[in-house]
Amino acid sequence: HFFLNIDLKLYSLQHFLFFDTKSNMPKIKVQKPSTGYIKYNPRAYAIYASMFQPAEVDTEVLAKNISQYGEDSTAIPNKTELTFQEFSDLFNKKALAEFEGEGNCYAYGNKDAQSPMVPMKFTRRATGPEDVRIQVVYCGICHSDIHQARDDWKNSTYPVIPGHEITGIITEIGSSVTKFKVGDRVGVGCLVNGCRNCNACKKDLQQYCEKGPVFTYCSTDPKDGTSTKGGFSTYMVIDENFVLRIPDSLPLDAAAPLLCSGITMYSPIRHYGLDK
């Protein structure tokens, strides 16, 4: 598996600020952002949250990362503490490509079975009462993505936005969400809903939903009737019951492939007791 790393402007957060905590370099602290700042600056917040809070980093490391993910690594203010807005401004960056279409979410997708993947925009639904909004940090590439993009299974719904090995940071939660909070490190696999009422769903076997599971892409979303679109995009809006928590000890890039290929292997090993 390879990785496609996407944020609000389709820029990688890969290996962001993996720094030596024992370094003697001067450090800068970043103030924790308010909920309002998080909602309107999800890209910057995903970067901030990837720094393993509390957000105190070496100035040299910060400059290198700004050079990669921002516009100007020489623009760091001469101070020991930054507001979140100042931090966010350091990581502003112009888009590298023109995006086809209209909408509030940037993505890579296929317009048909013959065309290559291109940058595009589409509209995701607003965060509902039981939903969480996840800023995508990593998304693995599964061979299923290629099959679906090429309509090898004759059930693709275009445009296809693939990706079902998704890890990221929660930047918004619905009013009824109880399992997660803003800032949590989470993942999404190949399922995003089910009927919730059949015997399979009641046993947490939604992949066998009698009315058909709702896959992360190329399925009909029961919440708004649109075709689901996957993780090769800047953010996801997912029902909290289909979101997984990623432990702080597990890097988000390493966690991504566990959500498809990893669980595909681990599940039978565990089921048949081969992990004993």
Residues 192-197 have a mean pLDDT of 95
Question: First CA to last CA across the chain, in angstroms?
Answer: 27
Phi, psi of 81 (to 5 degrees): -140, 135
pLDDT for 10 equals 39
DSSP 259: G
Q: What distance in Å separates the CA atoms of residue 185 and residue 224, rounded to the nearest whole number?
A: 26
Question: Residue 131, SS3?
Answer: strand
Residues 174-199 have a mean pLDDT of 96
Rg (CA), the chain: 19
pTM value? 0.83
**Which one has a higher pLDDT value, 13 or 223?**
223
Q: Give all strands (DSSP E) within the chain, no chain letters.
A: 2-4, 27-30, 56-58, 81-82, 105-109, 118-122, 131-141, 166-173, 185-188, 191-193, 214-215, 235-239, 244-245
**Which one has a higher pLDDT value, 222 or 57?**
222
Range from 44-48, 121-125, 227-231 carrying the lowest mean pLDDT: 44-48
